[in-house]
């Protein structure tokens, strides 16, 4: 007998048009895992009764929390049903879809407030309980101090499965919304720009999680918190010469040798861990033109400064560390030898530790 799966795993444009956008996005994301009978957990943007039925049709189980997508959901009944035990109490409604045969369970569970779920698997029997330590006013005497009390909350099995899968998503969203706050700072109004902004925020948070994973146990200094990591990443994305440094070095090697006579008194760009950056100051009479100054090494006019010196002096400092960055110039290498000898790679063949690059 063949092991071929006979469930309806084909995408249908008519079906996409009949469902909410979150349901369609969820279907496209989990479509490669169809017919695997895995459990999909989703937050309120993706969760709905049609989403649960649609995923059941392609061989996947579903648990989701509902807030606004309440079509075909008994929200009116579950929002008014009596929960006498308050925290930990739950009530559910069970039904079978007549068209697809999907077994659906809709239930409400009370934690700090009422939370509404829909699932095609699991049940509302007791799962692992939640233990919290909270301040409570146990002593009713006047001006009595509060006490630390262990609070024991019963949790349904379906909620245990849901929160075990969504904890990583919640941490990621909290880091993006409360830590990065890119959506709050930019405040875009159009839908496409808002989606692109959110996707960029997800990529930045993924970069933070990757950085934390690869830097564990490393002795190299690294950012101590999220804010410092985001600030340094923004600086490197905005002001950097990583993609032009090697090209500039190869193109001007012969010319730089003629000007300086030898490379023995400079540092090749491939071994420099810091570079130049355009100055933040502008001319008084021409606000669109950058301010110029004399290079500290060759005294030529330049609009660039040393990145490390600029950070130490500040953008509004009266005197700035002007450095040439034109093709054929070796001023930055000589400046590093005198003022930043620790920002040099040990050997040309050794890989550069880009976590030290500024």
Q: 338-347: per-residue pLDDT in tens? A: 888 888 876 6
Whether the CB-CB separation of 182 and 201 falls below 8 Å is answered with yes
Is the pTM for the entire model greater than 0.85? no
Rounded CA gap, 351 and 247, in Å? 18
Which one is predicted more confidently, 103 or 14?
A: 103
Q: Are residues 149 and 272 in the same domain?
A: no
What total of structural domains would you count in the chain?
Answer: 3
Rounded CA gap, 50 and 162, in Å? 18
Q: Are residues 278 and 191 in the same domain?
A: no
Q: Are residues 163 and 291 in the same domain?
A: no
Per the domain annotation, does 349 fall within a domain?
A: no
Give me Rg for the CA atoms of the chain.
Answer: 30
Q: Are residues 202 and 144 in the same domain?
A: no
The reported pLDDT for the residue numbered 257 is 46
| Per-residue pLDDT tens digits for 104-153 | 999 999 988 899 999 999 899 999 888 888 888 888 888 888 888 888 89
Q: Are residues 158 and 190 in the same domain?
A: no
The reported pLDDT for the residue numbered 348 is 55
Q: Are residues 25 and 87 in the same domain?
A: yes
The reported pLDDT for the residue numbered 248 is 47
**Around Cβ 121, how many Cβ atoms within 10 Å?**
19
| Per-residue pLDDT tens digits for 67-76 | 988 888 999 9
Whether the CB-CB separation of 49 and 93 falls below 8 Å is answered with no
Of 51, 49, 154, the residue nearest 106 (C-alpha): 49
Q: Are residues 159 and 64 in the same domain?
A: yes
Per the domain annotation, does 2 fall within a domain?
A: no
The reported pLDDT for the residue numbered 255 is 52
10 pLDDT tier (thresholds 50, 70, 90): very low
Q: Are strands 276-278 and 304-306 parallel, antiparallel or unpaired?
A: antiparallel
Q: Which domain holds residue 331?
A: 242-339
Q: Are residues 151 and 191 in the same domain?
A: no
Q: Are residues 194 and 277 in the same domain?
A: no
59 pLDDT tier (thresholds 50, 70, 90): very high
Given a cut of 70, is residue 4 above it in pLDDT? no
Per the domain annotation, does 7 fall within a domain?
A: no
The reported pLDDT for the residue numbered 39 is 92
Look up tokens 């009266």; give the residue. Answer: 318
């Amino acid at each position: 007998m063949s092991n071929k799966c006979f469930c309806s795993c084909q995408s249908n444009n008519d079906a996409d048009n009949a469902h909410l956008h979150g349901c369609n996005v969820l279907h496209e994301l989990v479509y490669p895992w169809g017919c695997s009978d895995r459990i999909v957990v989703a937050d309120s943007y993706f969760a709905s009764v049609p989403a649960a039925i649609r995923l059941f049709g392609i061989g996947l189980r579903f648990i989701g929390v509902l807030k606004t997508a309440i079509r075909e959901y008994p929200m009116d009944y579950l929002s008014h049903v009596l929960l006498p035990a308050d925290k930990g109490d739950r009530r559910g409604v069970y039904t079978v879809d007549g068209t697809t045969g999907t077994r659906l369970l809709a239930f409400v569970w009370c934690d700090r407030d009422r939370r509404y779920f829909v699932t095609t698997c699991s049940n509302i029997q007791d799962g692992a309980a939640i233990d919290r330590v909270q301040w409570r006013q146990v002593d009713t005497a006047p001006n009595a101090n509060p006490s630390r009390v262990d609070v024991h909350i019963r949790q349904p099995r379906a909620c245990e499965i849901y929160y075990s899968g969504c904890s990583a998503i919640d941490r990621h969203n909290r880091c993006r919304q409360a830590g990065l706050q890119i959506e709050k700072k930019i405040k875009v109004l159009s839908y496409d720009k808002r989606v692109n902004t959110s996707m960029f925020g997800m990529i930045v948070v993924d970069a933070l999680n990757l950085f934390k994973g690869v830097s564990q146990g490393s002795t190299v200094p690294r950012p101590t918190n999220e804010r410092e990591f985001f600030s340094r990443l923004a600086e490197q994305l905005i002001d950097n010469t990583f993609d032009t440094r090697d090209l500039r070095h190869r193109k001007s090697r012969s010319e730089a040798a003629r000007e300086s006579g030898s490379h023995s008194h400079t540092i090749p760009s491939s071994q420099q861990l810091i570079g130049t950056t355009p100055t933040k100051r502008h001319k008084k009479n021409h606000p669109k033109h950058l301010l110029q100054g004399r290079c500290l090494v060759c005294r030529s006019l330049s609009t660039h400064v040393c990145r490390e010196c600029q950070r130490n002096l500040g953008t509004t400092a009266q005197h700035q560390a002007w450095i040439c960055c034109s093709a054929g110039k070796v001023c930055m290498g000589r400046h590093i030898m005198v003022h930043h000898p620790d920002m040099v790679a040990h050997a040309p063949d050794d890989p550069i530790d880009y976590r030290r690059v500024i």
